[in-house]
Chains A and B, each alone.
Chain A
Amino acid sequence: MGTRIDGIKLRHVYKIFGSEPAAYVERVKAGMTKTELLAHNHVLGLRDISMDIPGGAIQVVMGLSGSGKSTLIRHINRLIEPTAGEVLVDDVAVVKMTPTELREFRRTRTAMVFQKFGLLPHWTVLDNTMFGLKVRGTAPAERRDTAMRWIERVGLKGFEEKYPNQLSGGMQQRVGLARALANDAPILLMDEAFSALDPLIRVDMQTVLLDLQTEIRKTIVFITHDLDEALRLGDHIAILRDGALVQKGTAQDIVMTPADDYVASFVKEVNRGRVILVESVMTAIGAGLVASDSLPRVAAKDPIELASKVMSDAGAGQAVACCEAGRPVGMVTMRDVINTMTTPAAYPSIARLAAAEPIADVA
């Protein structure tokens, strides 16, 4: 098990909730809006979702509540059937699977972590962690060994015999994570997995996940409504609004070039210094640009916040972005960094001050 997958593809997926969804799908394709559809007592869940989720990376899908993100993730393991469209995992159509094939797919290819944990309250932590393996029919001894390994890995050693009710929310979700990882499925679906946790615990769990991912390299689809979480975890981010995809890209793409006002309003409050990398503000080394050994050095993949710290500590106005095959790749200046880190629109006082009367000499 644990075989890699090449990726997940969604092709023109539509989901309409209601008594006769099929009757409305053509009209939605022809441009009927969510509000118009609602007048017919049907709810538009997803509209024409096409995306490629690459294998071995974390794909974040974010949006506000009601944007269809939880509906979207449930299409991947077909907890929800699409009204139209295709879901392909390694080019196998999930929608066309028979019930038996689907069960087998869910048992061996996917694992899921839920916002409300979804643990069995009458089972201990150990039993809960073994759940997927039990369903799959793994031998009891192997089940136990695997489960114990993951319980330890998520930091719950010593809690094996506790019931979920005896644990805090953060610990319960560690059980949820251990249960998913014990399954060793190549696809990990996380539906607002950390949203119910306190902010500090949430950051803690994000760290746990990122640490684990460096070693397990699973294809993770992570749903969240929290932009900071999305930017921190996502190798790739997709933004949903009213059931439609509004933007796909890396964290930097989203922050630096928001596709529309909706996305822009999301990223307005983001700490850009931590998201934007040196490589996107540096000037590439070329003719006329010579790196000096006396300048401080930063990595091209460092966030610019770090670069500003390095430069100000060194008292330098610029730094060398280092290094590819031992050669510097670019130069970054304090001026560029600060300009990129601040969003001028957020500070109207800048314009006001600039327009003010000339400053009188101070005696």
Chain B
Amino acid sequence: MEWFTTFPTMDNERLTALKKAIDEGFRNFTRAYGESFEIAFEPLKIFMIWVERLMTTTPWPIILVGILAIAWLASRSLKIVVGAALALFAIGYFGMWDDTMKTIAMIVVATLTALVIGIPLGVVMSFSKRMRSVVMPILDVMQTMPSFVYLIPVVMLLGIGKVPGLIAVVIYALPPVIRLTDLGIRLVDRDVIEAADAYGSSRWQRLANVQLPLALPTIMAGVNQTIMMALSMVVVASMIGVQGLGQPVLKAIANQYFTLGVFNGFAIVGIAIIFDRVSQEFGRRLQKHREIVHGH
């Protein structure tokens, strides 16, 4: 009756052998292909370094004006611009300007990478049921797997530094934009698609004229989610060498520096709110034609 009280397990020796074999296999894989992966990610690294240098070496007034200008162009809301200015001034005044710039550089590159991968993937998914049945479970894994777990293979493959950190952030931030692009396209009004077909649209014309524009509010919600998730990964990514606001937080945890942790934490919250409000307002402005309704 022992099997009834204790779960029957694989015997210890064999289990260890199995884990060893998998480890060994992966190690061999990293030895064989680690360098090729590094070369493959070289362009991303160059881009990342370029953006970071741009953000950190440009004098702060120019950056500040630039960010506020983008916020204004995207949102056309004075309230949001003033709020962003106050947040950035506070961040700078409390000595976190450089770290904040590094974090913003990271978020921008991670978000762009996620969009470049995620939107086309979402489009393909919306077209093919089979594709969806393959991608959906992968997205589930990406969203529920603790991020520390996939840090391990990434670090083994690429070591510690900006690029592995970036990859970890992208893996974490990618699912929402894929899911919401797919959903947005599938929710587009059947009648409008039929009209596009009836006038002889090619698949590409239908996508560009009808499906993507009408799915845009949903896609923008995905973009917003992606940005937020990228920001929430900043601290975790700092564990594998990503510079920015995450590192002081990490230091604060290790040494119980309460104030250091809180200051940097609030800096992350501050830029998160700026990104969120600006991207949401931008999404809303794209939908202006929906707001002016006949008879209202």
Contact = CB atoms under 8 A, between A and B. Distances in A.
Contact of B200 (A107, A118, A121, A122): A107
Interface in A99-150: 102-108, 110-112, 114, 116-122, 131-132, 134-136
Nearest to A167: B294
A112 B191 CA distance: 12
Contacts of B254: none
Interface in B246-296: 289-290, 292-295
Contacts of A107: 199-200
A165 B200 contact: no
Given A103-B200, A121-B289, A165-B294, A112 B214 contact: no
B201 A112 contact: no
The 6 A-B residue pairs with the shortest CB-CB distance in the complex, in nearest-first order: A118-B195, A107-B200, A106-B200, A163-B289, A112-B198, A103-B200
A167 B201 CA distance: 25
A134 B202 CA distance: 12
Interface string A240-264: 0000000000000000000000000
A135 B194 contact: no
A136 B200 CA distance: 8
Contacts of B205: 135
Contacts, number: 76
A79 B294 contact: no
Contacts of B192: 118-121
B206 to A, nearest CB: 9
B20 to A, nearest CB: 51
Given A77-B198, A135-B199, A166-B294, 7 more contacts: A103-B201, A104-B200, A106-B198, A110-B198, A121-B290, A122-B289, A135-B201
A183 interface: yes
Given A120-B192, A122-B213, A135-B205, A166 B198 contact: no
A165 B296 CA distance: 10
A132 B199 CA distance: 6
B210 interface: yes
15 contacts: A79-B194, A105-B200, A107-B200, A111-B198, A111-B199, A112-B198, A114-B194, A132-B199, A135-B199, A135-B205, A163-B289, A165-B289, A165-B293, A165-B294, A189-B198
Place the interface of chain B in its size category.
Answer: 20 to 34
A78 B289 CA distance: 32
Given A135-B199, A135-B205, A165 B194 contact: no
B16 interface: no
A166 B292 contact: yes
B217 to A, nearest CB: 10
A106 B199 contact: yes
Contact of A183 (B199, B202, B209): B199
A214 interface: no
A167 B296 CA distance: 11
Contact of A121 (B194, B214, B295): B214
A120 B210 CA distance: 7
B192 to A, nearest CB: 6
B42 interface: no
Contacts of A165: 289-290, 292-294
A112 B195 contact: yes
Contacts of B197: 79, 106
